Structure 1
Amino acid sequence: MYRFWHRIEHIYWLLLSLFIRCFTRVYKKRILCWSYYYTKYSCNPRYITEYLLKEHSGEFELYWCFNKDVDVSKLPSEIKVVRWRTWKYLLILNSSAFLFTNTRTGLWKSSFVKRKGQRYVMTWHSSMGIKKIEQDAEETLSLSYINEAKYDSSICDLILSGCKFRTEVIKRAFWYDGEILEKGTPRNDILFQDQRELKQHIFTQYNIPQNAKILLYAPTFRKDMGLQYYKFDWDDILTVLEEKFGSPMFIFLRLHPNFCRAGIDISALCQYERVLDMTYYHDMHELLCISDVLVTDYSSSLFDFSLLHKPCFIYATDYESYDRGTYLKLEELPFPLALNNAELLDVISRFDKEKYENELVEFNKRILGSFEAGKACEALYRWMILC
């Protein structure tokens, strides 16, 4: 019965959207954005927005859509906010010339049916990833998602790519044969900028000594949403890190946004004085910028963080049974690999910075073919003005 009324609700909002369209027109300088299904001001849409605000102030009318319970008090004042599934949302949805999202729009969820004069840019939420996605992982996806993804790709005008490897994935797996902008990933532009002020701000906010260093632990999700894959011996890890890098260490725990949406209690993972739960922190890339070491598993943050040439380690306790599959074998990547806590302690203690950097350069040249140069937002702007 719930599913029946849920579908009726979807149909109601879609029909209402089409009705409102009859009384609106498309404004060439109006932009609507959302991130992670209206839950965050983050990721590629955020960095596109802030680039436009800084470099092209006043040129565009910028709207963001959020769920009704999302706090928007800290947004830049130039951004206009609409709430999902309100009349105003439907009005802006149907009158914006550009729509930027980092996930699939979802016809039933967004009520978005593209009209003449609109351009939909799907920025996605990674530059390059190990785990298989979209059609390459079709057996793990629901039929409803596959149908939505195919529809979404059919109305998409542009997808962004951060490297040659990702371009080939888009062509093969995204049910998409349209234009791909091979100029980098907007959210990675920040990695090429000076972030000392940001670091000082975050350290002050969380009472972290200014001489401390940060290990960011940011694994991706599993289909069963279990927490058993992420257990650390925090005492031992911190001891080894401090011996290796010579500074007081703190750990930022950052789980995947899917845990936020599912409302899963992760407090058991961070019951330690110097482990801070940053899962709900608004933007992952700010954390990457100020961190000194990254530990993850199959997350695309590996390749983002490697642009900083800082130590990155793979901690994959379920490598042999991982349910999504991987594009590349973990042992062939330039990042030291550990399958259990003891191995992680070992690879950290034996870390060779020179060897690591040489292997990074070779891997990028031979496998990835990165387009990242800190100019992705600028390239997208140039594409927009030609539309």
Structure 2
Amino acid sequence: MKSILKKILPKKVIGFLSQVKNGNYNYYFWLFPVKKNKIVICNYYGKGYGDNGKYIINKIIEEKIKVEIIWLVKKELMVAARFPNTVKIVEYGSMRALYELATAKVWIDNSRKTFYPPKRKNQFYIQTWHSPLRLKKIEKDVEEYLPESYIRMAKKDSENCDLMIAGCDFSWDVYRNSFWYDKEILKCGTPRCDVFFNDSLKVKNKVYEHFKISLGVNLIIFAPTFRSNSNIDAYILEFNQILKSSQERFGGDWRLLIRLHPNVSELSSLINYDDIIIDATDYDDMQELLCAADILITDYSSCMFDMAIANKICFLHAHDLDEYLAKERQLYFNLYELPFYFSKTIEELINNILEFNEEQYSDSLQHFFKKIRLYENGTASKEIVEKIKRTVVLEL
């Protein structure tokens, strides 16, 4: 029925109905006053406790700021998702969620906000986005490939937004020039990257305990991004060869965690696991995995830049580069010009591991940081919380 309606109804009518469904015209919630000490957070359209919002809220809890914290979560995740006791969870997409948004002083989101009531003048919306830096082009930079409905929604989201954050000047330029956004962009770093500077040992112990890995063992994470096709070839490598070459080059004992993108998480069941090659697809915080890892292997995922910020080893492996560029996404950077060792075949990947040069890699990272003018230093969450306290004037 939905597909039939999409064919016969004008696009503007479909867009209007979508906005109605998402509560965008529910002005009657304005009958309720805005609570100056309420914050509502959403992560990837209703996912659990993670990404930038998690680390901002952790800082608020650490500083014992007396605010009401609401987190919007998809219905199917409400039981399984783990949150601090001070965070109240509300079902994403529900009338209750619209009420909480309508009466909160602060909104925090890391993706384009589609589900919300009309924003009020005395509300403050912080858009953190979901990466410190990205490889794949986004928003206005690929406008010709985006649906008109998405562009309208994105422009409205930027109009509602009061503050964005950036971890480097390259990202600042993208937000200013490609997000249809002309208000403040705070040069503070990325909250989810704070963990690399502050609690890394504590987080590493947590990850190792979760997967029952001895602390003396070294850890590789394989985290490919998703493709629009369902072919599993991109998500399987010669894992035993990778482990063997890592042991030969770096010494010690090694384990490998496989973390598939949420969009293809169902393919995880097609991979063979054991005590050495471990399924980490359902682990709730990718940032903690990166914090615990010694090596990351990925293809086009922005997690490569998180690993760089952590000053850790990252190998890029993409056997389908030409096809990806032709069919999937355009890129901001040439993969061959990034600071990471790049390969298109398993033989090249193994060789890159065996011939890895730490000094050369470190120099390449520093050169890249200067190029993008990086300013990550582990204080992003603190700066954002201070900004909330100063700008929003919470009643504490």
TM bin (shorter chain): over 0.9
* 1:298 matched residue in structure 2: 300
* 1:205 matched residue in structure 2: 210
Contact 1:140 1:324 in 2 (8 A): no
In 1, the alpha carbon distance for the partners of 2:289 and 2:314 equals 14
Identity of aligned residues (%): 34
Aligned length: 378
Contact 2:106 2:126 in 1 (8 A): yes
* 1:17 matched residue in structure 2: 26
TM-aligned CA deviation for residue 293 of structure 1 = 0.3
Query: Does residue 61 of the first structure (1) align with residue 65 of the second (2)?
Result: no
Equivalent of residue 348 in structure 2, options 317, 339, 343: 343
For structure 2, list consecutive stretches of 5 or more residues without a partner in the other structure: 7-13, 392-396
TM-aligned CA deviation for residue 122 of structure 1 = 0.8
| 3-state secondary structure, aligned to 1:265 | helix
* 2:11 matched residue in structure 1: none
In 2, the alpha carbon distance for the partners of 1:226 and 1:46 equals 33
> Aligned partner of 1:295: which letter?
I
* 1:77 matched residue in structure 2: 85
Over 3 Å counting, the alpha-carbon distance change for 1:180 and 1:334 in structure 2 is: same
In 2, the alpha carbon distance for the partners of 1:340 and 1:381 equals 45
Task: Within 5 Å, give how 1:76-225 maps onto structure 2.
Answer: 76-106=84-114, 110-224=115-229
> Aligned partner of 2:23: which letter?
L
TM-aligned CA deviation for residue 278 of structure 1 = 1.4
TM-aligned CA deviation for residue 76 of structure 1 = 0.5
Query: Does residue 326 of the first structure (1) align with residue 327 of the second (2)?
Result: no
* 1:245 matched residue in structure 2: 250
Contact 1:31 1:96 in 2 (8 A): yes
TM-aligned CA deviation for residue 10 of structure 1 = 5.8
Structure 1 consecutive aligned stretches of length 4 or more whose deviation exceeds 6 Å? none
In 1, the alpha carbon distance for the partners of 2:110 and 2:22 equals 22
In 1, the alpha carbon distance for the partners of 2:336 and 2:300 equals 12
Contact 1:253 1:270 in 2 (8 A): no
Q: CA RMSD for the aligned pairs?
A: 2.0
Contact 1:129 1:300 in 2 (8 A): yes
In 2, the alpha carbon distance for the partners of 1:160 and 1:25 equals 28
> Aligned partner of 1:278: which letter?
A
Deviates most, 147-156 or 196-205: 196-205
Over 3 Å counting, the alpha-carbon distance change for 1:346 and 1:167 in structure 2 is: same
TM-aligned CA deviation for residue 93 of structure 1 = 0.9
* 1:285 matched residue in structure 2: 287
In 2, the alpha carbon distance for the partners of 1:330 and 1:58 equals 43
C-alpha deviations, 1:191-220, integer Å up to 9, x for none? 101432332232222221222111111122
In 1, the alpha carbon distance for the partners of 2:191 and 2:360 equals 29
| 3-state secondary structure, aligned to 2:130 | coil
> Aligned partner of 2:108: which letter?
F
Equivalent of residue 372 in structure 1, options 376, 381, 384: 376
C-alpha deviations, 1:193-252, integer Å up to 9, x for none? 143233223222222122211111112222335432222011211110111121221111
TM-aligned CA deviation for residue 177 of structure 1 = 1.5
Over 3 Å counting, the alpha-carbon distance change for 1:63 and 1:236 in structure 2 is: same
What is the TM-score normalised by the length of structure 2? Answer: 0.90
Deviates most, 132-141 or 339-348: 132-141
> Aligned partner of 2:386: which letter?
R
In 2, the alpha carbon distance for the partners of 1:253 and 1:362 equals 30
In 2, the alpha carbon distance for the partners of 1:145 and 1:228 equals 30
In 1, the alpha carbon distance for the partners of 2:233 and 2:139 equals 25
Contact 1:157 1:178 in 2 (8 A): yes
C-alpha deviations, 1:301-345, integer Å up to 9, x for none? 111111222211111112222221111111111110111111100
For structure 1, list consecutive stretches of 5 or more residues without a partner in the other structure: none
* 2:241 matched residue in structure 1: 236
